[in-house]
Amino acid sequence: MIQMKNFSEQEYIRINKFIATNTKLSRRKVDEYILQGRVTINNITITDTGFKINPLKDKIRLDGELIRQSKRKVYILLNKPQKTITTVSDEKGRTTVVDLIKTKEKIFPIGRLDYDTSGLLILTNDGEFANRMMHPTYKIQKTYEVKLSKPLEEKHKNYLIKGIILNGRKTLPCKIEYFSKDDKRKIKITISEGKNRQVKRMFEKFGYKIFKLHRSKYGNLSLGKLNPGEWRYLTQKEVLKLQSLTLTNNKENAIRTK
């Protein structure tokens, strides 16, 4: 007699999706590990990245370590104050962005803002979402308010807008606006990539120092009324909107490259 399954098809998910969702690993990295034979299901090694598992019953291990299913996915919007470090823990005992947030879930920041940079930072326990937001193909736009050491010259502005060479690679085109015609030290820059210290390095290339750096927008999100150090959960609508943005941006890129 064929034994009836007592759980529905819907409860089966692909092993690579399960691992990516419940760890900080990207789907591509997970596939690599599966193919290398580092993943077991109920102690049996599998190398099929699309193998379907039942997270309620199967024991999935990576390098022998059990992967537990995270219960609740949380997405948090923080107004990062200056003098906080964008990590989960700091060996020097400095305040981390995670220290500022009271939640049971093991959250981590998506990308990073420097110690002296303030503004909009998203934290989550959803590894797949985080990887999507940070993946360069999706080109999520980020807006920074910058105070420079001297007025931004028109020719430098034009170079930066078109893209400049940093460490041998050209930056993507970006948008730059002045806050007012009378003070060209205060500008707003929107970039769609996130290399380490990118905004600072872009201006430093032309001899400007950065006196203040604040991220005011990330994709469709802005800080609203959150003061430095304050945070709130994102709504489901906001999370879906961010996710859909990656789909739209990806489609646009596909069209552009044709």
Residues found near ligand URA in the complex (CB under 6 A): 113-114, 117, 197-200, 213
What's the min distance (Å) between Cβ of 200 and ligand URA? 3
From CA 243, how far away is CA 230, in angstroms rounded? 24
Within 10 angstroms of residue 181's Cβ, the number of other Cβ atoms is 6
Smallest distance from ligand URA to CB 217, Å: 13
- By the 10 Å C-beta count (0-12 exposed, 13-18 middle, 19+ buried), 28 is classed as exposed
Nearer to ligand URA, 186 or 200 (CB): 200
With CA atoms as reference, report the closest residue to 56 among 18, 21, 105. Answer: 18
Q: How near is the Cβ of 117 to ligand URA at its closest, in Å?
A: 3
| CB 113 to ligand URA: min, Å | 4
Which position among 63, 114, 182, 183 bears the catalytic label? Answer: 114
Mention every residue, 6+ apart, whose C-beta is less than 8 A from residue 12: 52, 53, 54
DSSP 132-148: HHH-GGG---EEEEEEE
Are the CB atoms for 111 and 199 separated by under 8 Å?
Answer: no
Is 183 assigned a catalytic role?
no
Closer CB to ligand URA, residue 97 or residue 239?
Answer: 97
Nearer to ligand URA, 29 or 197 (CB): 197
Q: Please, which residue, 49 or 171, has the CB nearer to ligand URA?
A: 171
CB-based burial label for 86 (10 Å; 0-12, 13-18, 19+): buried
Active site residues per annotation: 114
